[in-house]
Amino acid sequence: MKARWTSILLATTMAALAGCNDKQAASAPESAKVETANDETKAQEALKAGVEAVVYGLPLVIMDITRAKTTNVAKPDGFAAPVNQFVNVRAFPDASFKGVVRANVDTLYSSAFLDLSAEPIVLSVPDTHGRYYLMPMLDAWTNVFASPGKRTTGVKAGNFAITGPGWQGALPKGVTELKSPTNMVWIIGRTQTNGPKDYPAVHKIQDGYKLMPLSAFGKPYAPPEGKVDSSVDMNTPPVEQVRKMSAEAFFNRMAALLKSNPPPASDAPILEKLKTIGVAPGERFELAKLDPAVAKGLERSVAVALEKLQAASEETGAPVNGWRVPPMILGDYGSNYGARAVVALIGLGANLPQDAVYPSAFVDGDGKTLNGANKYVIRFDKDSLPPVKAFWSVTMYNPESFFVANSINRYAISSWMPLKKNKDGSLDLYLQHDSPGKDREANWLPANDKDFNVTLRMYWPKDKAPSIIDGSWKPPAVKRVQ
């Protein structure tokens, strides 16, 4: 684009040098052309800068919309709870559930948004008696800054003080400090649940997860009722709310959040770029005060950025035997703003790879779309099951990333199930519409007669070979049975 407008400017200059009979008459149209070219160049450069700014700030804005929506209740309900309080999800969703894409039936969630601006919040966890759990904590930028749980802190009871970036002080004996880079924190707790029969045991553990202000620690404490703001959109998913935002609304929200949740010092270069288009921490962003050409380019930046990120999401991860293996930077993105934005768009709240890795397959080993009109098998050779220290599962989804309804209400196959191995020690999983036969139904993941896809969840993957983290273990292809 820049080269094109440069050629126009050169042509204009040559015409002027050649001379005209009426220089004044000729110069007016040529001047208009130059001005139009300059305006178009400004608009394109502003659009480019605006897209970069949206990509950078998208996780922050989506996190804030999610926080506003999931804390706007008087008491814990569904997947929402007042700020600084847990909501415990008590049962797995079924095929009618459309609240969250790519839901799991491996763990029951315990979720809470924290506000650390007033004082630290203490998380207390009970003894889980060996059961796998994790409490990943995301800052406002979607980085996981701490992940208490069986992998890192064991399964005994413990107390953890989550402190904000500006807090300094002493903690009671036996309380471990977890320093958050931002005052906004999202805890997305997960407790391993081996099917509905396991609910009572898991509920008892969930009831032991407690949050309280540091000033109330060690004292009787009852969380206050939450305040409901009628202006908060409780129906539209966060990503769709962003899609409906004007550039002015997006950048204003982003600027306010930049002040209350300062980015790390390493982000200084991009913060300087943001200033060039009028986005600065705590300052009001107004398109009307900008050059009209610049404003024209910026107005399109949100839509264009989301379009580019959506396209990038379809190619996220390395292709391995038909699977897309996610990059091993999830939850700790550094300056990879593009990857961070893609994950915020399609899978907000991703775990660290050390906690869980989720490869997904939309095609078979030959690169053809998975479809329930066909029969497929996933074969894990002997001694080549998913290498994990906790457990693994394979979950089926429709093209919209929701569960596939089926006659036996089975949406996933998990390693805790009584799966039947072959005589040679290998394990076959059958992905098809009809039953593979009574002797194989334990290993059957039912499909409908339409397109589908699957996700392999690997909890606490091994960090030494064979390992998916270093690429020394690869998921086997989903093979079509002829």
Q: What is the pLDDT of residues 362-397, one digit of tens each?
A: 999 999 999 999 999 999 999 999 999 999 999 999
The residue extents of the domains of the chain are: 100-216, 320-480
Does the structure show a pLDDT above 80 at 19? no
Given a contact cutoff of 8 angstroms between Cβ atoms, the answer to whether 448 and 397 are in contact is: no
Q: How far apart are CA 479 and CA 482, in angstroms?
A: 9
Q: Comparing 354 with 317, which gets the higher pLDDT?
A: 354
> pLDDT value at position 35?
61
Q: In this structure, what are the phi and psi dihedrals at residue 247, rounded to the nearest 5 degrees?
A: -60, -40
Side-chain-side CA neighbours of 228 within 13 Å: the count stands at: 9
> pLDDT value at position 32?
58
Does the structure show a pLDDT above 60 at 22? no
> pLDDT value at position 315?
82
> pLDDT value at position 316?
82
pLDDT band per the 50, 70, 90 thresholds, residue 31 = low
Helix, strand or coil for residue 242? helix
> pLDDT value at position 314?
79
Q: What is the mean pLDDT of residues 192-203?
A: 98
> pLDDT value at position 34?
60
The amino acid that residue 184 corresponds to is: M
| Cis preceding-peptide flag for 436 (omega within 30 of 0) | no
Q: How far apart are CA 97 and CA 100, in angstroms?
A: 8
Does the structure show a pLDDT above 60 at 4? no
In angstroms, the first-to-last Cα distance of the chain is: 51
DSSP assignment, residue 283? P
Helix, strand or coil for residue 360? strand
Per-residue pLDDT tens over the stretch 420-477: 999 999 999 999 999 999 999 999 999 999 999 999 999 999 999 999 999 999 999 9
Does the structure show a pLDDT above 60 at 9? no
- CB-CB neighbours of 175 under 10 Å: 19
Given a contact cutoff of 8 angstroms between Cβ atoms, the answer to whether 430 and 408 are in contact is: no
What is the pLDDT of the chain when averaged over all its residues?
A: 92
> pLDDT value at position 33?
59
- Closest by CA to 349, choosing from 93, 107, 76, is 107
Q: How far apart are CA 451 and CA 371, in angstroms?
A: 4
Q: Comparing 313 with 229, which gets the higher pLDDT?
A: 229
> pLDDT value at position 1?
36
Q: What is the mean pLDDT of residues 273-299?
A: 95
Determine the number of helices (DSSP H) and then strands (DSSP E) in the chain: 9, 21
Side-chain-side CA neighbours of 421 within 13 Å: the count stands at: 11
Per-residue pLDDT tens over the stretch 41-60: 999 999 999 999 999 999 99
The pTM is what? 0.89
Q: Comparing 98 with 186, which gets the higher pLDDT?
A: 186
Does the structure show a pLDDT above 50 at 135? yes
Helix, strand or coil for residue 193? coil
pLDDT band per the 50, 70, 90 thresholds, residue 413 = very high
Give 418-470 as a DSSP string: -PPPPTTS-EEEEEESS---GGGGGGEEE--SSB-EEEEEEESB-SSSS-TTT
Does the structure show a pLDDT above 50 at 115? yes
Q: What is the mean pLDDT of residues 134-149?
A: 98
Q: How far apart are CA 263 and CA 53, in angstroms?
A: 14
Please give the CATH architecture assigned to the domain spanning 100-216.
Sandwich (2.60)
Does the structure show a pLDDT above 80 at 102? yes
Per-residue pLDDT tens over the stretch 183-192: 999 999 999 9
> pLDDT value at position 443?
98
Given a contact cutoff of 8 angstroms between Cβ atoms, the answer to whether 478 and 365 are in contact is: yes
> pLDDT value at position 92?
96
Does the structure show a pLDDT above 50 at 255? yes
Superfamily for domain range 320-480: Domain of unknown function DUF1214, C-terminal domain (2.60.120.600)
Strands in 296-399 per DSSP E: 318-320, 323-325, 356-357, 360-361, 376-380, 392-397
Question: In sequence order, what are the residues at sequence separation of 6 or more whose Cβ sits closer than 8 angstroms to the Cβ of residue 315?
Answer: none
The token pair that represents 105 in the structure block: 């039936």
Q: What is the mean pLDDT of residues 107-112?
A: 97
Given a contact cutoff of 8 angstroms between Cβ atoms, the answer to whether 116 and 180 are in contact is: yes
Helix, strand or coil for residue 189? strand
